[in-house]
Chains A and B, each alone.
Chain A
C-alpha cells in the first residue's frame, strides 16, 4: 500500500460542497428559529417540544460542522471520527447494561481490541494484498460473538450467562460494527448505469457524497418524524415502548424522506443512484432509521431510563443521536455495494 492512497483526500466534489453548505445554512436557520421560539412564551407550541427541538438542532449542527471539517481532510480522519463516536456510544451502552464482575476482562478486549481493530480495517479497505473486506464483515458478527461467551465462561460465573453475553454482543454489533459501515462508504469503488446504454460505467463522483446522503436522509427523517409526531400524529405505535412515536409520523416521514431523496438527486446528484433509485434508498434509510429509534427506545424502557444522556449525571447521550444512523448504515452500504460495486 502506498501512503499516497491511504491519505487521499478528495472526498468532496463541487456538488457535494454545495449540498453541504445548503445543509449547514438550513441548520443555522433552524438554530436561530429555535432560539427565537424559546424567547416567545406566548407561542402555542409546548416549551418542552421547543427545548427538545433546540437540543437536537444544535447536536445536528455540531455533527455537520465536524463532518465538514473531517471530509476536507484525508479520509482516514473521518474514519477516526466515527471510531471515537462508536467508542463513546459503546461506553454509554455498556454503562447502561448490567454486567457482572466476571465480564470485566471480556469488556476490556471489546473496548480495546475489537473496536479499534474494526476501524483500522475500515481504513485498510481496498488496500494491500490482504482481503480486508472479508475480515471486516465477519470479525464482530462471527469471531467476537464466539470470543465473548468463551471468555466469560472461563471466568466461572454462570449467572444469567446468555443474557450477559447477548447484551455485550448486541452493544458491540450496534455501536461499533453497524456504525463502522458509515465511514466504510468512503472506500467503495462504484459504478453508475448509463441511462442511454444501460451499461455500468465507473462513477466519476466522490464517495464523500454517499456518506453525506446517508447522514442527511437519516437526520431529515428524524426531524420530519419528530415534528409530525408532535403536531399531527394520533395513532401511537407502541405506547409501552415509546409514547410519542405514531404511525402517521412513521409513514409521513418515510414518504417525505423518499421524495426528499429524489429531489436531492435531481438537484444536486451526490450519489451514483438514478433519481428513483435515490428515492428508494432514502425510503430504505427512513425505515431503518425509524426501526433503530424504536429498538433503542425498547432497550431504554426495559432499563427504565429516559435518555442515554440522563444515564449518568451530566453526559450528553451520543447514542440517542446516532441510533438511527447505526441501523441505516449497514443496509445502505450493502445495497449500494450490491448494485453498484465495480471490480478494481
Chain B
C-alpha cells in the first residue's frame, strides 16, 4: 500500500512540476551525498526527491521544516511517504544542533536534501547560505556535496497557495564539491552558492 502511495505521490509531483532532470557532469549514484538546492517553494523537497531514480529515493531523505510538514493530517501522511528529516526551526538547541542530528540520522547509508538558504524568499533572488552545509562538509568530509538548481517551481506553487498550477520547471544537478583544506566558512559558502547559480546558465 505504501509503495502504491509513493508511486502516486511521485507521479503527481512529476506531473504538476513538469520537471525535467539534468545531471550535469555527474551521474546518479548510491554513495552518500548531500544535495543542496535553492529554495523557492514548499514543493522543492518533494519534487527534487521525486525526480531521483527509484533506488536513490529509498536512500535519500529531504531535510524539511517540522512546522510545515506536521501541520494537518494530509501533510503528515505525505511526509510519512517520503521519509523526511524534520527539523524544528523554532527551537534550535545548542547541544544537539540540526547538523549533529543530520549526521546521526544518515549514518553510513542515507543521503540528504538540504536547502541552505533556510527559508524561501518571495523575491526569487537567492539568499546567502546558512552555515549548516559548511559544518556538514567539515564533520563528514566523505560526503559528496551536490549543487542543485531548481528553476520555476515557485510559480507552480507560490507561498500560501494550496493548489499547484502545472507549469514547466527543471532541476539541474551539478558535479560534487568538497570543503577544501583551510577554506574558510565564508569562502566555502560563497563557492557553494556560486555552484548552484552556475547551473542556471549551463
Contacts and interface: CB of A to CB of B under 8 A. Distances in A.
Interface of A: 87, 91-92, 94-95, 99, 101, 104-105, 107-108, 111, 311-315
B137 interface: no
Given A95-B167, A104-B165, A312 B151 contact: yes
B151 A108 contact: no
**B-side binding surface: helix, strand, loop or mixed?**
loop
B50 interface: no
Contacts of A111: 165-166
Contacts of A104: 158, 161, 165
Given A95-B152, A99-B155, A101-B158, A312 B20 contact: yes
Contacts of A87: 166
Given A101-B158, A312-B152, A91 B166 contact: yes
10 contacts: A87-B166, A91-B166, A91-B168, A101-B158, A104-B165, A107-B165, A108-B165, A312-B168, A314-B21, A315-B20
B125 to A, nearest CB: 15
B111 interface: no
B17 to A, nearest CB: 10
Interface string B157-186: 010010101111110100000000000000
Contacts of B20: 312-315
A315 B169 CA distance: 9
Nearest to A314: B20
B138 interface: no
A87 B15 CA distance: 12
Contacts of B151: 312-313
B165 A312 contact: no
B66 interface: no
A311 B161 contact: no
B22 interface: yes
Nearest to B163: A108
- The size bracket of the interface on B is 10 to 19
Nearest to A110: B165
Contacts of A311: 168
A168 to B, nearest CB: 11
Contacts of A107: 165
A87 B158 CA distance: 21
- Of all A-B residue pairs in the complex, the 7 with the closest CB atoms, nearest first, are A314-B20, A313-B170, A107-B165, A95-B168, A312-B168, A95-B167, A312-B170
Given A101-B158, A104-B165, A314 B170 contact: yes
A101 B160 CA distance: 10
B43 to A, nearest CB: 13
Contacts of B22: 313-314
A313 B161 contact: no
Given A95-B152, A99-B155, A104-B158, A315 B165 contact: no
Contacts of A315: 18, 20, 168, 170
Contacts of B163: 105, 108
Contact of B167 (A91, A105, A314): A91
A311 B18 CA distance: 12
A92 B168 contact: yes
Interface centre among B20, B21, B22, B155 (most CB of A within 10 A): B155
A108 B155 CA distance: 12
B16 to A, nearest CB: 10
A99 B155 CA distance: 9
A217 B47 CA distance: 41
A304 to B, nearest CB: 15
Interface string B6-38: 000000000000101110000000000000000
A273 B156 CA distance: 46
Interface string B46-76: 0000000000000000000000000000000
A310 B22 CA distance: 13
A91 B166 CA distance: 7
B14 to A, nearest CB: 13
Contacts of A312: 18, 20, 151-152, 168-170
A212 B169 CA distance: 33
Given A91-B166, A105-B163, 10 more contacts: A91-B167, A94-B165, A111-B166, A311-B168, A312-B20, A312-B169, A312-B170, A313-B170, A313-B172, A315-B170
Given A99-B155, A314-B20, A94 B167 contact: yes
Contacts of B167: 91, 94-95
A95 B166 CA distance: 9
Contacts of B168: 91-92, 95, 311-312, 315
Contacts of B170: 312-315
A113 to B, nearest CB: 12
A313 B18 CA distance: 11
A240 B41 CA distance: 37
B9 to A, nearest CB: 19
Contacts of A313: 20, 22, 151, 170, 172
